[in-house]
Chains A and B, each alone.
Chain A
């Protein structure tokens, strides 16, 4: 079946502009995660959605970052007033139920470059 998809695959923007990154999880997966991966850095947790529960936003680095998940499926990560330090690969993952023993299935990522 289809895996996790993300769009766009690459995004180049100017400092100060807003960007939206999209994630389509695997159908039926109730949990969805956003991560950020910078060059030479590990996966940095950003936000986690689980079913209808309030999202865990503890990883969002500033109030310029927000995310929503509509209808328990597609998710959008929005970065307002982008800064150069926001340049990174943004990865989305989904899992069946979100438990610690669940496998996370990752999308290919969106490479964001802020000029």
Chain B
């Protein structure tokens, strides 16, 4: 069956370090992969999208990689700040007529001052 896995354990890092979150998938060939941030009591907020033919995408302190051979995406936050503390969700879409996103459970990140 199709499956998306994100780090199940919370990630705790020190301010200023780089946070790396993982999204692995199986039995799936996504055309797009999206990363969202969710704060407690709020809906997810879009961060970055990467396409299957892109290896890397950057936006300010954020970087996403997409390895379709390994079936994995890595999400990096450089120079992390306590304000980056949140849950980060990855979501996959096959494109075409399949318009539903398939969501991971998310990884909780805590950046300690």
Contact = CB atoms under 8 A, between A and B. Distances in A.
B95 A99 contact: yes
Contact of B32 (A31, A93, A100): A100
Contacts of A41: 105
Nearest to B100: A45
A80 interface: no
Nearest to B43: A106
Given A42-B104, A42-B105, A43-B89, A103 B99 contact: no
Contacts of A93: 43
Interface string B83-113: 0000001010111101111011110000000
Given A48-B100, A100-B95, A106 B32 contact: no
Contact-residue size bin, chain A (C-beta under 8 Å from the other chain):
20 to 34
Contact of B42 (A101, A104, A105, A108): A108
A20 interface: no
A96 to B, nearest CB: 12
Contacts of B31: 100-101
Nearest to A58: B100
Contact-residue size bin, chain B (C-beta under 8 Å from the other chain):
20 to 34
A35 B41 CA distance: 15
Contacts, number: 63
Contact of A31 (B94, B98, B99, B104): B99
A93 B101 CA distance: 12
Interface string B42-75: 1111100101000000000000000000000000
A87 interface: no
A31 B43 CA distance: 17
Nearest to A31: B99
B43 A91 contact: yes
Interface of A: 4, 31, 40-43, 45, 48, 50, 56, 59, 91, 93, 98-101, 103-109
